[in-house]
Structure 1
Amino acid sequence: MNKNRVLLASLSGSVIEWYDFYLYGTATGLVFSTLFFSGQDPSIALLLAFATFGIGYAARPIGSIIFGHFGDRIGRKATLMWTLIGMGGSSFLIGLLPTYNQVGLLAPILLVVLRLIQGISLGGEWGGAVLLATESAPKGRRGLYGSVPQLGVPLGLVAGSFSLTLIAYLTTDAQFLAWGWRIPFLFSAVLIVLALWIRGGIEETSAFQKQKESGEIAKVPIVETFRNHRKSLFHVIGLKIGDGFFNVFLMSFVLVYTTTYLGYSNEIALTALTIGCATMIITIPVVGYISDFIGRKVIYISGLVLMFLLAIPYFFMIEQGATWLYYMQAAMLGIIWAAIFATQGTLFSELFPAKVRYTGLSFGYQMAAAIVGFGPMLWTTMVDSFGPSHWVFGGFMMGGLTLSLVLSLFVPNTKNVSQYEESIEKFKKDNSLQI
């Protein structure tokens, strides 16, 4: 199987899925709070809009169970085709939705339904995209290959935020709210057709083919995951929560935080976010490559420590002016969090055997995502009560990071696993003293 085609298939679908998911996140504060919750007080409207954003996160564990089941039973490739259709179709339909002024309460109800479909689809996409890459990786290059689908996050976010920014520059405020915001959502249809064509030309991963040929297919993957791999599952959930809260802030809520509460313009806030994502595009594959030599765990812990130490300085610096916002977004998002994220897919997937790998990887990650996805609702309440306090927000982030740091000490160093299908329990026993 052509390795480059596999990586392109993994990356293309990931880019589109995250384009759709974060396009919604970017539009939440800028569009949806105004057009779909216009019958409410502005603060309540913003809170309700972010509740729909959080619903997408809450739906992701459901998608991980559904698509994880089929991914572990019928294959990675077929499952990933359906996740693309679900995400792209729902995003396209969001672009056609009537507003609150046109149909009343039906508008936010339809928005919530389509957001749920988005979340369910993404719940199955991320884990499958990671496995498509890592299960096809040459020996000694799993870290590099596993980092490639992670590029979908910055590329998708940049594409989503850039498309809205471009339309905003080309239209008046009235035109943007009337019809301009719809164009990036409708464009999802074109991207999905392209990604389906790319994925249609690849084969099933060798790891799943071997599993199928051996007849060792889990009857109910989620049940077997809880029965035999609970420890690994809870490791994934705990490890993701710490950086997950900061990630949601850095890639979504920062737009509202800086524009609504710190007085930045939309252009400056979006530019700073784009700078951070552009830096990630360089950082992620470099760190993925390095992880094949020094190990995923060392990089992961180092990233968590740096993020912990810079939590309060980050919020303090962005209060000082535009230049510091650019610097801190590039450092925290583009370098430190990117280093953590580059290793996550590979590290987490290495904790599960092939027969439940899709389910275990996806469910653990998406459970954590469901928890951190409601961060914007918490932060909206916090900022109303305490203002944009660097002590309050920095302390909140440090709390989550502490949980991940503690759990990271008990996760095995997976660098020296020679066979991806090898029993992780045997590896833990042989390497229990390694960092």
Structure 2
Amino acid sequence: MSTHPSRRSGGFTPTGTISAPADRRRVVFATVVGTTVEWYDFFLYASAAGLVFGQLFFAPAGPGIAQVLSFLTVGLSFLFRPLGAFLAGHLGDKYGRRVVLMLTLTLMGASTTLIGLLPTFDVIGVAAPVLLILLRILQGISAGGEWGGAVLMAVEHAPKTKRGVFGAAPQLGTPLGLLLASGMLGLMALIAPGDAFLAWGWRVPFLLSFVLIIVGYYVRKKVEESPVFLELSERKEKTRAPIVQLFRKHALLVLIAALVFAGNNAVGYMTTGGYIQRYATNPDGPVGLATADVLGAVTLSAASWLLFTWIGGWVADRIGRRNTYFVGWAAQLVGVFLLFPLVNTASVGLLTLGLVILSVGLGLTYGPQAALYAELFPASIRFSGVSISYALGAVLGGAFAPSIAQALVDATGGTTAVTWYLAGMTLIGVVATLLLRDRSGIPLGPDHEAEQTVSPIRGVTRA
């Protein structure tokens, strides 16, 4: 086995790890900051779609239809996440993880800031929702490319015994982004309540994205490229058409990996997609709570989700990725069946309890995902594999979960059907997890492509 020269702060080994702990800490910090900014922007839109976009951009369609259209714009962006994943996967496998992360961060921040400046329907007519949708599509493209680069930067820098907890670092950006987005909107709902929130209060968190993007860009610029990619580059072993190779040899694996995430994502988008926020604050609905109270509950649940995401990554290094998932799926199923009975009490405390309980399972099935995905795919096509699996899982899971939930409530007059829909998506995740082998600790470097190419699908020996 050959070795390679050291890189600036301590070098890399053929297994794809950096030797200096300071470099590892820098990578972890950069991935957390970057993904937090990305998901703050992404979830800010989803929360605003549940709270104000229906009234400001789609009001002529009528109250009921306006809200459905608003939620559909949340889902529409998911259809463009695979495009972002395809582009990022190709660029990331050919030119590196770091350059893609800089591009996605800039695109997301610019789109979010422009939404904060966008005139409403009353000012520019139909051009307002059209521009809103275009900017949301750009957010979707950015989100599709962001995740794969962030998790590979973390996992490919990690010692093989700590990939779960290192991989959980960029995953923390999701609940942190939700916490910041809900917290900022909740703060503005207190500072500028009622008509002031509709007039200008909702815009402030969007405009704040410009500042956050500068911080995230600066932090990421200081991080070294992934050692696995550096090794591939030095050996000139980069795949010319990684996406073609991915689908020619690993199409079934991509689908199964996507279904694992879909089981988590559909349930998570009850809050990150803005559905619970709208359902619980709708003055004509069965709950009718104050906007600030609901956003406060979502913020607390995001803090719980953050904690259990980290725990999920930590536990995955001790009992394996699959076993951690199974514990998480069981907890998520409990949360699904308790969610709406607690929300429908119209008690802020019980609403918060329901969301916190749900976050336990969401965290335990989200924390191990980065390590699980990175260990599924060979080094030369890994960025494409993890990015496309993640984006496809988001389409199958959370893309239209708020719209489906709204349609089910409108059709049945209650939330029981929504509960069974979410339980069904959780069980799909369970089945997909059962189909995969646990490959915890498998070498990630290009020296071990032959071992990595052995199919991780149970019952299948070769890709």
What's the TM-score bracket when you normalise by the shorter of the two chains? over 0.9
For 1:375, the equivalent position in structure 2 comes to: 401
Task: Give aligned-pair identity as a percent.
Answer: 35
Partners in 2 of 1:311 and 1:170 — Cα distance? 33
Partners in 1 of 2:130 and 2:392 — Cα distance? 24
Partners in 2 of 1:419 and 1:223 — Cα distance? 21
Residue among 77, 85, 109 paired with 1:64: 85
**Matching residue's letter, 1:34:** Q
Matched, 1:14 2:31: no
Partners in 2 of 1:286 and 1:413 — Cα distance? 18
Residue among 267, 271, 280 paired with 1:258: 280
Partners in 2 of 1:376 and 1:431 — Cα distance? 36
Partners in 2 of 1:429 and 1:49 — Cα distance? 39
Q: CA deviation at 1:35?
A: 0.8
- In the comparison of the two structures, how many residue pairs are matched? 431
Residue among 351, 355, 358 paired with 1:325: 351
Partners in 2 of 1:428 and 1:366 — Cα distance? 20
Secondary structure at the aligned position of 1:95 is classed as: helix
Secondary structure at the aligned position of 1:250 is classed as: coil
For 1:424, the equivalent position in structure 2 comes to: 452
Unaligned runs of 5+ in 2: 1-8, 10-22
Residues 15-24 or 279-288, more deviating: 279-288
Secondary structure at the aligned position of 1:341 is classed as: coil
Residues 307-316 or 133-142, more deviating: 307-316
**Matching residue's letter, 2:105:** L
Change in CA separation of 1:331 and 1:48 when aligned onto 2, cut-off 3 Å: same
Deviations 1:117-160 (A, max 9, x none): 00000100011111110011123111110000011011111111
For 2:64, the equivalent position in structure 1 comes to: 43
Q: Is the 8 A contact 2:156 2:444 kept in 1?
A: no
For 2:307, the equivalent position in structure 1 comes to: 282
For 1:34, the equivalent position in structure 2 comes to: 55
For 1:345, the equivalent position in structure 2 comes to: 370
Residues 393-402 or 104-113, more deviating: 393-402
Q: CA deviation at 1:354?
A: 1.5
Residues 237-246 or 302-311, more deviating: 302-311
Q: CA deviation at 1:312?
A: 2.4
**Matching residue's letter, 1:100:** F
Q: CA deviation at 1:308?
A: 2.5
Q: Is the 8 A contact 2:38 2:109 kept in 1?
A: yes
Q: CA deviation at 1:291?
A: 1.2
Greater than 4 Å deviation, 4+ residue runs? 418-421, 427-433
Residues 6-15 or 407-416, more deviating: 407-416
Unaligned runs of 5+ in 1: none
Matched, 1:363 2:385: no
For 2:3, the equivalent position in structure 1 comes to: none
Deviations 1:341-388 (A, max 9, x none): 001111112101111111110111111212331111111111111123
CA RMSD in angstroms comes to 1.9
**TM-score, with structure 1 as normaliser:** 0.95
Residues 227-236 or 78-87, more deviating: 227-236
Partners in 2 of 1:57 and 1:292 — Cα distance? 31
**Matching residue's letter, 2:350:** W
Q: CA deviation at 1:310?
A: 4.2
Q: Is the 8 A contact 2:92 2:100 kept in 1?
A: yes
For 2:74, the equivalent position in structure 1 comes to: 53
Matched, 1:218 2:239: yes
Partners in 1 of 2:338 and 2:192 — Cα distance? 37
Matched, 1:129 2:129: no
Residue among 410, 417, 437 paired with 1:384: 410
Matched, 1:291 2:343: no
Secondary structure at the aligned position of 2:61 is classed as: coil
For 2:13, the equivalent position in structure 1 comes to: none
Q: Is the 8 A contact 2:179 2:300 kept in 1?
A: no
